[in-house]
């Protein structure tokens, strides 16, 4: 099959993309049409995914709230049993990402309602998602025929600078290219490091609050403001990253917030200062994961390589919470100096790795601009079409 080609013309001073592949030969569309399609997809997919992720995150982190509400005392957890329980959950979560359901024979405690109510909501949302989330672009019914055509063709292009992602790579080649990519590995390791911090603050924030001298109820309530501020800040960072077309630079901006927050927790026992430190940690840590995953996928093409790359990043990153489960030790409670020290080192490593990847991508882009990668075009038309992110005209996102 001939490789797909792109022609760029101008219609009323607006770019029109034309592709010579199925489903319609030389099909073209305007930027206005593409914008309408993107908005339609966003309004159909994003609200459902956001709600599902919210419910999923609550289910994964409410064990921290249950801990200060009497979970350990009610079911007789001693020593490292709480840490073991967290590890078992995250190992299974990493393998299957399915919910664990456990029955406890002891008398009902208030902490049980946390799992019962929030778990029921998540299951209901999961069932509803089957109806609201669309299927593949070729078969979805909420798009008309032309919108489906545009959606399919857009998937064959990289959104930045008109770079073509090319034809699908063979399955074995996709795995090999993803494994060889420095972008994939640095993003995966950084995703692991940031998950250590995110899950650490999520699972143990209520315990940290109680260690500051607050009551159980007040400890629960005081975990809310850091999440609210971090949510608004995460949206602002995501918007800035989108508008600027940069990923690494924003990571270098927010990582120091986490480092400063952790340093405060290590340096002082002042309650107000520690609470401010928690805000900084949440603000800096929560935006890191989405930007990292976006960075990895931006620099992976075609779609088969992108799928493998994103899977590797998520799979390796999910190991972070398992590490977290074993650095917050009972003997280190409630200040958790050891855990906060490890987290500080993780974020410092995160900062260094992001800096390395930025420099690598800048250097590689300069080499491509000088024509040092043009030798890759000395291949068959089909092979050139499968180059994707290796194509000399492809520019890595910084």
Mean pLDDT (the chain, rounded): 77
* 192-216 residue pLDDT tens: 999 999 988 887 888 788 878 888 7
Domains of the chain: 1-156 (no CATH), 166-398 (1.20.1250.20)
Strand positions, DSSP E, the chain: 6-11, 14-19, 27-29
The half-sphere exposure of 102 on its side-chain side, counting CA atoms within 13 A, is: 11
Verdict on whether the full-model pTM lies above 0.75: no
pLDDT, position 103? 26
Nearby residues of 344 by Cβ (< 8 Å), 6 or more positions away: 259, 262, 263, 266
Q: How far apart are CA 322 and CA 83, in angstroms?
A: 9
| CB atoms inside a 10 Å sphere around CB 180 | 10
Cα dist from 223 to 54, 237, 389, whole Å: 16, 21, 42
142: how many CB neighbours lie within 10 A of its CB?
12
Per-residue pLDDT tens for 82-127? 667 766 666 666 554 433 333 223 333 443 444 444 455 556 656 6
Q: How far apart are the first and last CA of the chain?
A: 34
The per-residue pLDDT for 204 is 81
Q: Give the pLDDT confidence score for residue 42 in this predicted structure.
A: 76
CA trace torsion 160, 161, 167, 169 (10° rounding): -60
The pLDDT assigned to 5 comes to: 38
- Measured at the alpha carbon of residue 202, what is the angle toward residues 288 and 280, in degrees to the nearest 5? 55
Token pair for residue 378?
């000395």
pLDDT class for 57, splitting at 50, 70, 90?
low
Tell me: pLDDT of 356 over 90. Answer: yes
Packing angle between helix 31-68 and helix 81-96, nearest 10 degrees? 160
């Amino acid at each position: 099959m001939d490789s797909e080609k792109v022609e760029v013309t101008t219609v009323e001073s607006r770019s029109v993309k034309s592709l010579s592949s199925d489903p319609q030969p030389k099909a073209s569309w305007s930027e206005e049409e593409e914008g309408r399609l993107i908005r339609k997809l966003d309004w159909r997919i994003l609200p459902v995914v956001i709600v599902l992720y919210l419910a999923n995150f609550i289910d994964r982190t409410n064990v921290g709230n249950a801990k200060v509400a009497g979970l350990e005392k009610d079911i007789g957890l001693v020593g490292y049993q709480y840490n073991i329980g967290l590890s078992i959950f995250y190992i299974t979560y990493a393998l299957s990402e399915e919910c664990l359901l456990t029955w406890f024979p002891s008398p009902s405690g208030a902490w049980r309602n946390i799992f019962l109510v929030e778990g029921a909501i998540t299951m209901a949302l999961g069932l509803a998602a089957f109806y609201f989330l669309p299927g593949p672009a070729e078969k979805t019914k909420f798009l008309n025929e032309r919108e489906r055509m545009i959606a399919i063709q857009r998937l064959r292009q990289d959104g930045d600078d008109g770079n073509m992602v090319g034809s699908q790579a063979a399955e074995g080649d996709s795995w090999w290219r993803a494994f060889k990519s420095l972008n994939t590995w640095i993003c995966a390791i950084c995703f692991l490091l940031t998950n250590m911090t995110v899950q650490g603050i999520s699972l143990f924030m209520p315990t940290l609050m109680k260690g500051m001298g607050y009551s159980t109820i007040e400890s629960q309530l005081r975990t809310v403001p850091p999440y609210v501020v971090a949510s608004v800040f995460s949206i602002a960072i995501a918007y800035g990253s989108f508008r600027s077309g940069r990923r690494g630079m924003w990571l270098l901006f927010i990582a120091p917030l986490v480092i400063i927050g952790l340093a405060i927790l290590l340096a002082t026992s002042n309650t107000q200062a520690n609470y401010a430190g928690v805000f900084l940690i949440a603000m800096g840590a929560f935006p890191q994961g989405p930007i990292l995953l976006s960075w990895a996928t931006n620099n992976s093409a075609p779609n088969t390589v992108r799928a493998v790359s994103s899977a590797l990043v998520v799979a390796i990153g999910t190991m972070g919470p398992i590490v977290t489960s074993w650095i917050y030790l009972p003997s280190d409670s409630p200040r958790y100096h050891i855990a906060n020290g490890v987290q500080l080192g993780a974020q410092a490593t995160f900062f260094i790795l992001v800096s390395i990847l930025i420099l690598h991508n800048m250097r590689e882009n300069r080499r491509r601009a000088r024509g040092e990668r043009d030798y890759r075009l000395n291949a068959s038309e089909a092979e050139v079409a499968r180059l994707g992110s290796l194509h000399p005209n492809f520019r890595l996102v910084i």
